[in-house]
Chain A
């Protein structure tokens, strides 16, 4: 294995790829490929047979056409920050990395849109248009590194999607290379006639083609923004406060919660806030909009927290204070590394009103397994991020963590929720798709994939549980 070429017949493939993009932009040696054996989901690993870096749409199309002709599977990759393994090769796929296609192509303020290449980094867009008072709303925690192409593949969310929605609510158009190499344009002005392919493609996890250009909606920055921090001695109080804020008719821009173990983690991380000892939960509530209306909302939120036994509650006095609260929260996943050798992050969603009982169930699962679970989550939309802490050096503990993750997702679907709110299914949650969908429903989705990706060469073995059973059941009907 550890020689230059890994797979028989690879020589002519490498040659073909090099002819298209230049040999400098094709990796095929074992040691070079190692960096591409996983993404942000590190439990599974798989080596690609090559990694190719096209410079533009034409090159992507030519690469895909070549692979299609040779019947070699392939997958697109952005920054590799995905948390469900969507960019991990499972059968020697060729990785098509889009990092060279990283330009902001156009900003059209009067029409509130921007056109970017797929490798363009999420945060860079907001930074590039901030001087005109505009921003791009979806803000995944990894926004300093993740690409907008990846965001489209995963239908990425973020802390502020409670009020502003997720990626799908902000994508206006796509240029796509289909799995046979054909280039198509999808979307454009509002409500283009025809089936909503844009909506189908967003969140399809790279299984329908490779996005090579994205038109997104840009928004005007809100006039005002205020943030409240509330510290609770009881998780129940914090959960009730979340429900009561919504019941009071307030739609916060963000409503985030962290529990005891998560607080321990973030305080040991790079951006400690200096939270007092012994807290059971921290809530961050942000409201934005017209300044005139914000003070009343902030007062209402503070009142609600007080009614629910808050230990301490305050509004941010400066932008620096607000920024620190957010930096502390947004780096929560990474901070777990300081209190545990490894962690597995889950992404279940529950109806907000079921929060207390599901958190109790997660606590039970933690007790039963002996693995600590930290909870960092978008409480406003019920999107939980339980972080299962484990030590991969201990035999069997990785498997145990995976099992615990699956149990947590079962708890979410049992409460009427979903297995993923923003991280995608990828490799990780393929089997858990069965918690949510029956065989007919899975087959209906696979049927759609087959329209775009009939030979299943483009990111195969992702999103759906292994077939077999589905097909038989379908025939029996």
Chain B
């Protein structure tokens, strides 16, 4: 997996000019503080362009980073610039929407907002509430395995992607899955690329499973003056009842203050169904909350969209002085994990806001004001958090951090017992190691 020579920008450009037009190539001026760009950026217009560029890179042992909306430029990797950044921004649009089959096929650079706008008219839904819908492209969401609070009810990319076209590092095109909602022919190769951070192939087309658009939705906020534990208790009770929440998101006091102005922890319970059923469930949660001495508030329905839209803009995207950490634990450890995060934030004098799902066990922390001098404190916070969650069979992954931070700490953490297999997969598919080098777990 070693590369022999480092080519100059001009040399790389010359190699690419043999396969794509000059106007499709740009030069990245400055190395951003997040890294993960390319010395040369190329904008393929179709799959054939991708194949040509990847082949040229492979033949010349040039490194390649695929990119979409660049909302995850601070996620993984310790290089400022690869030789080539393949931006999929121009491969954007809906290839086919088969409403009767509840599936749609889109190009990789299609944003979540593009998809949502198209489907709203057709009364359907791609239930994927990942952050930054206006910027996040579908291929990027898949590669980073991004998800949102509604995952409790609707699942994540691994439950929604049914077929893809992927260009392998040698230029071979692989179709994975099939354009039907149920399929077990051969291995489920879709799974290989979900969350693989662009280390195995360049996604050129995606087919997704859809749902009918729910007729009514609501967001309910439960506040607690007695810390987060009563809210965690309520979340457990809701889970253990026949209520069907779409999200069960616990907010730290710091985050709740940001979102609602109230400086105490909160639980966000949301519903999507016919109005009758939603109202009935709101009442049941209100009763459970009352019994626990908690107050509830249902957002006016005209504010629901705006609420989610703000929520989806919480994670840092371009900020070079922010760090975002994703933690996975079992459901019953979510509240204590949030508490631990805040306690350690006090200890290291960091500004930390967090939220975590009582239904999926995913916890997110956003640390702000991580200037050069504060990087050390943030690293310490992470190391302590890792130790804490490891005891709970969990993990902590840094999803956003400046390059300087990522050079100091392994953003992925432990490789785990099956790492040999993962390395084997990478070596099989990308023996030269040209795709997103070092951006993934264990330096894959």
**A residues apposed to B, CB below 8 Å:** 108-112, 133, 154-155, 157, 161-162, 165-166, 168-169, 184-186, 188-200, 202-204, 220-223, 243, 246-251, 289-290, 292-293, 296-297, 349-353, 378, 381-383, 416-425, 429, 433, 436-437, 440-442, 444-445, 447-452, 463-464, 477
List the 8 shortest-distance A-B pairs measured between CB atoms, nearest first: A199-B191, A293-B277, A223-B242, A249-B212, A451-B424, A353-B100, A189-B328, A290-B277
Q: How far, in angstroms, from A92 to B307 measured CA to CA in the complex?
A: 62
Residue in A165, A197, A248 whose CB lies within 8 Å of B421: A197
- The reply to whether B175 and A441 form a contact with Cβ atoms under 8 Å apart is yes
* Chain B positions 187-215 with a Cβ under 8 Å from a chain A Cβ: 187-192, 194-196, 200, 211-213, 215
Once the chains are docked, how many angstroms separate the CA of A162 from the CA of B102?
A: 11
Q: Which of A246, A292, A378 lies in contact with B277, CB distance below 8 A? A: A292
Closest Cβ neighbor of A421 among chain B residues = B182
Contact residue among B181, B277, B280 (Cβ-Cβ distance under 8 Å from A381) = B181
Residues of B contacting A383 in the complex (Cβ-Cβ under 8 angstroms): 182
CB neighbours of A433 from chain B (8 A): 185-186
Q: Does B441 contact A (CB under 8 A)?
A: yes
Nearest residue in A to B196 (C-beta to C-beta)? A195
Task: Indicate if B324 sits at the interface (CB-CB under 8 A).
Answer: no
Q: How far is the CB of B287 from the nearest CB of chain A, in Å?
A: 15
User: Smallest Cβ distance from B365 to chain A, in angstroms?
Assistant: 15
- In the complex, which of the residues A191, A196, A199, A351 contacts B362, with contact meaning CB atoms closer than 8 Å? A191
Selected contact of B418 from candidates A168, A185, A191, A378, CB within 8 Å? A185
CB pair B172 A477 closer than 8 Å: yes
Could you tell me if B187 and A247 are in contact, using CB atoms closer than 8 angstroms?
Answer: no
Inter-subunit contact B328/A165 (CB<8 Å): no
> Of the candidates B194, B360, B394, which one forms a contact with A196 in the assembled complex, judged by CB atoms under 8 Å apart?
B194
Q: Which A-chain residue is minimally distant from B168 (CB atoms)? A: A444
Contact partners of B360 in chain A: CB under 8 A: 190
Check if B425 sits within 8 Å of A165, measured CB to CB: no
- Bound together, the chains give a CA A248 to CA B173 distance in angstroms of 37
Does B339 have its Cβ within 8 Å of any Cβ on chain A? no
Inter-chain contacts of A449 with B (CB < 8 A):
187
The smallest beta-carbon distance between B110 and chain A, in angstroms, is 21
Contact segment of B15-23, B292-300, B345-353, B408-416: B408-416
- List A contacts of B395 (CB < 8 A): 189, 192-193
Q: Contact string, B79-115, partner A, CB cutoff 8 A, digits 1/0?
A: 0000000000000000000111111000000000000
Kindly state the separation between the CA atoms of A249 and B413 in the bound complex, as whole angstroms. 43
Report whether B173 and A416 are in contact in the complex, using a CB–CB cutoff of 8 Å: no
Which of A155, A198, A289, A448 makes the CB contact (< 8 A) with B425? A448
User: A201: shortest Cβ distance to chain B, in Å?
Assistant: 9
Say yes or no: A199 contacts B178, CB within 8 Å: no
Nearest chain B CB to A131's CB is how many angstroms away? Answer: 13
Mark each residue of chain B from 278 to 302: 1 if its CB lies under 8 Å from any CB of chain A, else 0: 0111000000000000000000000
Kindly list chain B residues whose C-beta atoms are within 8 Å of the C-beta of A200.
Answer: 187-189, 191-192
Known A350-B180, A421-B184; contact A165-B331, beta-carbon cutoff 8 A: no
Q: Are B192 and A220 in contact (CB under 8 A)?
A: no
Q: Which residue of the partner chain, among A133, A155, A248, A442, contacts B184 with CB atoms under 8 Å?
A: A155
Q: Flag if A424 contacts B184 (CB, 8 Å).
A: yes
Residues in B whose Cβ lies below 8 Å from that of A161: 182
Residues of B within 8 A of A293 (CB): 273-274, 276-277
The answer on a CB contact under 8 Å between B213 and A451 is no
Which stretch from B25-33, B218-226, B233-241 is at the chain A interface? B233-241
Q: In the complex, what residues of B have CB within 8 A of residue A190's CB?
A: 328, 360-362
Whole-angstrom distance from the CB of A198 to the nearest CB of chain B?
A: 8
In the complex, what distance in Å separates the CA atom of A194 from the CA atom of B412?
A: 9
Quick one: which of A194, A251, A382 has the most chain B CB within 10 A? A194
Q: Is the CB of A351 within 8 A of B103?
A: yes
Max chain B CB contacts within 10 Å: which of A191, A243, A248? Answer: A191
For residue B123, CB closer than 8 A to chain A, the reply is: yes
Known: A246-B102, A382-B101, A451-B425. A191 touches B186 (CB 8 A): no
Contacts of A169 in B (CB 8 A): 155, 159
Cα–Cα, bound, A29→B167 (Å)? 51
Chain A residues, CB < 8 A from B215 = 249
Whether A112 touches B331, Cβ cut-off 8 Å, given contacts A168-B188, A192-B416, A445-B186, is yes
For A419, give its contact among B101, B185, B242 (CB under 8 Å): B185
B160 to chain A, nearest CB (A): 10
| Separation of A403 and B189 alpha carbons in the complex (Å) | 28
10 contacts between A and B (CB under 8 A): A110-B240, A161-B182, A189-B329, A195-B195, A196-B194, A290-B242, A351-B103, A421-B182, A422-B182, A451-B425
Q: Name the CB-closest residue of A to B215.
A: A249
List A contacts of B412 (CB < 8 A).
Answer: 193
Count contacts between A and B, CB distance < 8 Å. Answer: 245
Expressed in whole angstroms, the minimum distance between the Cβ of B155 and any Cβ of chain A is 7
Q: A324 CB to closest chain B CB, in angstroms?
A: 25
With contacts A109-B240, A189-B329, A220-B242 taken as known, whether A452 is within 8 angstroms of B421 at the C-beta atoms is: yes
With the chains together, A194 CA to B239 CA distance in Å? 28
Contacts of A425 in B (CB 8 A): 184-186
Q: Nearest Cβ in chain A — how far from B143, in angstroms?
A: 12
**B9 located at the interface, meaning its Cβ lies under 8 Å from any Cβ of chain A in the complex:** no
Asked if B158 is at the interface (CB within 8 A of a chain A CB), the reply is yes
Nearest residue, chain B, Cβ from A196: B191
B174 interface residue (CB < 8 Å to A):
yes
Inter-chain pairs besides A185-B418, A188-B328, 7 sampled, C-beta below 8 Å: A165-B159, A191-B145, A203-B184, A293-B277, A419-B185, A422-B184, A451-B421
Beta-carbon contact of A191 and B328 below 8 Å: yes
> Inside 8 A of A194's CB, which chain B residues have their CB?
415-416, 418-419, 422, 440-442
**Residue of B99, B102, B179, B440 contacting most chain A CB atoms (<10 Å):** B102
B182 to chain A, nearest CB (A): 4
Interface residues of B in 383-423 (CB under 8 A from A): 393-395, 397, 412-413, 415-419, 421-422
Quick check: A437 and B186 within 8 Å, CB to CB? yes
Compute how far the CA of A202 lies from the CA of B159 in the bound complex, rounded to whole angstroms: 13
Which of chain B's residues have a CB closer than 8 A to the CB of A162?
Answer: 181
Interface centre among B176, B215, B239, B242 (most CB of A within 10 A): B242
Judged by a CB distance under 8 angstroms, whether B308 is at the interface is: no
> Min CB distance, B186 to chain A, in Å?
5
CB distance from A209 to the nearest CB of B (A): 10
Q: Tell me if B101 and A353 are in contact (CB < 8 A).
A: yes
Complex: A223 Cα to B192 Cα, angstroms: 36
CA distance A127 to B178 in the complex (A): 34
Tell me, in angstroms, the Cα distance from A463 to B145 when the chains sit together.
Answer: 28
A351 — which chain B residues lie within 8 A by C-beta? Answer: 98, 100-101, 103, 179-180
Give the nearest-CB partner of B102 in chain A.
A246
Minimum CB–CB distance for B141 against chain A, Å: 13
* Chain A residues within 8 Å of B155, by CB: 165, 169
Complex Cα gap A247–B100 (Å): 6
Cα distance, A292 to B271, chains bound together (Å): 14
Q: Does B118 contact A (CB under 8 A)?
A: no
Q: Which of B103, B242, B279, B428 contacts A447 (CB 8 A)?
A: B428
B394 touches A189 (CB 8 A): yes
Min C-beta distance of A222 to chain B, whole Å: 7
A184-B417 in contact given A189-B328, A416-B179, A418-B183 (Cβ < 8 Å): yes
Decide if B304 is an interface residue (CB 8 Å cutoff). no
With A199-B188, A419-B185: A188-B180 Cβ-Cβ less than 8 Å: no
B331 and A289 contact, CB distance less than 8 A: no
Question: Which B119-136 residues have C-beta < 8 A from chain A?
Answer: 123
Complex formed: what's the CA distance from A442 to B213 in Å?
37
Return chain B residues, CB-CB under 8 Å to A251.
Answer: 211-212
Interface contact B159-A445, CB-CB below 8 Å: no
Contact of B397 among A154, A193, A197, A419 (CB under 8 A): A193
List B contacts of A436 (CB < 8 A): 178, 185-186
Q: Are A204 and B182 neighbours in the complex by a CB distance under 8 Å?
A: no
Which residue from chain A places its CB closest to the CB of B427 in the assembled complex?
A: A451
